[in-house]
Chain A
């Protein structure tokens, strides 16, 4: 069974630009969550989608947004990029939302802002 696939793996952008990251969950998984990982802050929760609806959101500015499609694939968008947005962005999928449903992570998209 294929794991969580994130594209692209690496991305370089400049300040002020916007970026869209893509995540394909494990087949059959309906919940997709996004996380940001930086050396200083560690892993921080961005948001979670289930059945095309955002169910939970972390403490990030409105420049960070996402969506989920009917096939459960998800995209994350960051507008007006800042230097501090340089990070590893991770997507995780799970069968459902329950606390007993493990989330499985992709290897992330490494975003560098120049």
Chain B
């Protein structure tokens, strides 16, 4: 399975863009990059995912490098409510059964500072 590497923590000023990096240098061509976040005592919240192209939704943008070895999650205008642990996950097929479990690492703790 492709593994991901994220910085353990980051700070961002409120109102500024938060750019969260993720390295996945062993990613294969059919493996998706997913981003989730988890606020204390809640379940992980899906943010965005992509395969090759950059993606944008109402929450964030996902920039994937051309070689797909790294990606960046961008929260355009961070608020205090964006303080959370952010997980970058490469989702792979398991056991040939068409099953794609999520394997969570330790993530990046983002602190949005007033």
Contacts and interface: CB of A to CB of B under 8 A. Distances in A.
A57 B78 CA distance: 37
Interface string A30-63: 0001010000001101001010000110100000
B97 A56 contact: yes
B43 to A, nearest CB: 4
B104 to A, nearest CB: 4
Interface stretch (A14-22, A64-72, A73-81, A96-104): A96-104
Given A99-B32, A99-B91, A100-B51, A106 B99 contact: no
Given A55-B97, A90-B43, A103 B102 contact: yes
A33 B51 contact: no
Interface string B25-56: 00000111010100001111110010100000
Given A56-B95, A56-B99, A105-B43, 7 more contacts: A45-B103, A55-B97, A90-B43, A99-B93, A101-B100, A105-B45, A105-B46
Interface of B: 30-32, 34, 36, 41-46, 49, 51, 91-95, 97-106
14 contacts: A4-B43, A43-B102, A45-B101, A48-B99, A58-B101, A92-B44, A97-B98, A99-B31, A99-B93, A99-B100, A100-B32, A100-B49, A103-B102, A107-B42
